[in-house]
Amino acid sequence: MNSIDTSSGSLTEYSVWDRTTRWFHWINALAIIGLIGVGLVILYAKALGVSTDGKILLKTIHVYIGYVFCLNLAWRIIWGFIGNKYARWKAILPGKGFFTTLHEYKTGFRTGNIQYYQGHNPAAKLMIMLLFVLLMTQAITGLVLAGTDIYFPPFGQTIKGWVAEDVSKIEVLKPYSKENVNKEKFAEMRAFRKPFIITHVYTFYILLIFIGLHITAIVVTEIRERSSLISAMFTGRKVFPKKPVDAED
Ligand code: HEM
């Protein structure tokens, strides 16, 4: 904890985000930008006149970025059990008395009698929890699509085994090729896949809205509370004019 004297009074610096949480955040942000960018081209591939080979290449790139996204997310899920106090699931998931603290926080935010939080404030908890649900949904549906669309791991081999006419020649199966594909089984597989692609696309749109809300909320909170919220995701430290309600000591 460090004290800093400013023209508007004294601020105290508190450590909050550990290194893993900061790396997770920025790798996740970059991966999502890449996934949204390539995802949009896949979505409008027909209108853009992309060839079949072009589509396979785009989907392959999307899936490789997706693997980085999934591994990073999986590590963050584990970190939620072993990371510092502010990285833990306990600090993210709304617990007992959540709505009372949310109400108190909102009232303080409105009236100017701000309740500072070293970790996530109650409104941020809700947002982060929903963002994690959306990200996990994209990860799970994306991995299923990677298998059912271009026969990529972790489910690609199983899907090949499902749709192959001759299972002994499974390696012949290639994305968008009809060679060694059993028509009926392929239709069955596509029917199984349908809810996953629908979920993946709708969650993509919902995610776009939530990313917009997340960034807006951070900018508004930073202007109102001035606790170095944005730079804290680089430095790990926030500053406060008074003791945060969730401070350790
Ligand atoms: C935040 C994360 C993600 C976003 C925003 C996202 C977005 C999108 C979008 C917009 C599409 C185009 C839908 C279409 O027209 O087909 C798409 C397709 C696809 N995504 Fe993702 N995605 C994400 C994560 C993943 C992950 C983690 C994987 C797998 C590792 C993945 C695999 C795929 C595949 C294989 C397709 C092609 C499906 C098809 O067109 O048949 N995605 N994604």
Which pLDDT value is given to residue 247? 85
Q: Ligand 1: distance of its center to the CA of 112 in Å?
A: 43
Ligand 1, atom 38, lies closest to the CA of 145
Domain ranges of the chain: 2-240
Residue 97: Cβ-neighbour burial (10 angstroms; 0-12, 13-18, 19+): exposed
Torsion of CA 124, 125, 131, 134, to 10 degrees: -150
Give the pLDDT of residue 4. Answer: 67
Residue count (the chain): 249
Gap from CA of 36 to ligand 1 centroid (Å)? 8
d(CA 224, CA 141) in angstroms, rounded, equals: 38
Atom number, ligand 1, closest to the C-alpha of residue 208: 5
- Residues within 6 Å of ligand 1 by CB: 32, 35-36, 39-40, 42-43, 59, 62-63, 66-67, 69-70, 138-139, 142-143, 145-146, 149, 197, 200-201, 204, 207
Give tens-digit pLDDT for 42-93: 999 999 999 999 999 999 999 999 999 999 999 999 999 999 999 999 999 9
Q: To 10 degrees, what angle do helices 183-225 and 156-163 make?
A: 150
pLDDT bucket at 154, cuts 50 / 70 / 90: very high
The CATH number of 2-240 is 1.20.950.20
- pTM (2 d.p.): 0.94
Residue 249 has pLDDT above 90, yes or no: no
Cβ neighbours, 10 Å, residue 40: 13
Percentage of the chain beyond pLDDT 70 is: 96
Of 70-74, 119-123, 189-193, 242-246, least confident by mean pLDDT is 242-246
> Which atom of ligand 1 is least distant from the CA of 204?
5
C-alpha–C-alpha distance, residues 212 and 219, integer Å: 11
pLDDT at 8 over 80: no
Q: Are strands 237-240 and 9-15 parallel, antiparallel or unpaired?
A: antiparallel
Q: What is the pLDDT of residues 176-231, one digit of tens each?
A: 999 999 999 999 999 999 999 999 999 999 999 999 999 999 999 999 999 999 99
pLDDT at 5: 63
- C-alpha of residue 238 to centroid of ligand 1, in Å: 35
Angle, in degrees to the nearest 10, between helices 98-111 and 122-150: 110
- Rounded mean pLDDT of 101-129? 95
User: Helix, strand, or coil here: 10?
Assistant: strand
Ligand 1: which atom is nearest the Cα of residue 43? 15
CA atoms of 38 and 104, how far apart (whole Å): 42
Q: Span 221-242, mean pLDDT?
A: 95
Q: What atom in ligand 1 is closest to the CA of residue 134?
A: 1
Query: Using 50, 70 and 90 to split pLDDT, how confident is the model at 10?
Result: confident
Q: What is the largest CA-CA distance in the chain?
A: 77
Q: To 10 degrees, what angle do helices 19-43 and 52-82 make?
A: 160
Between the CA of 155 and the centroid of ligand 1 the distance, in Å, is 15
Q: How far apart are the first and last CA of the chain?
A: 11
Please, how many CA atoms are within 13 Å of residue 218, restricted to the half-sphere of its CB?
15
Going from the C-alpha of 204 to that of each of 55, 61, 120, 207, the distances in angstroms are 19, 17, 25, 5
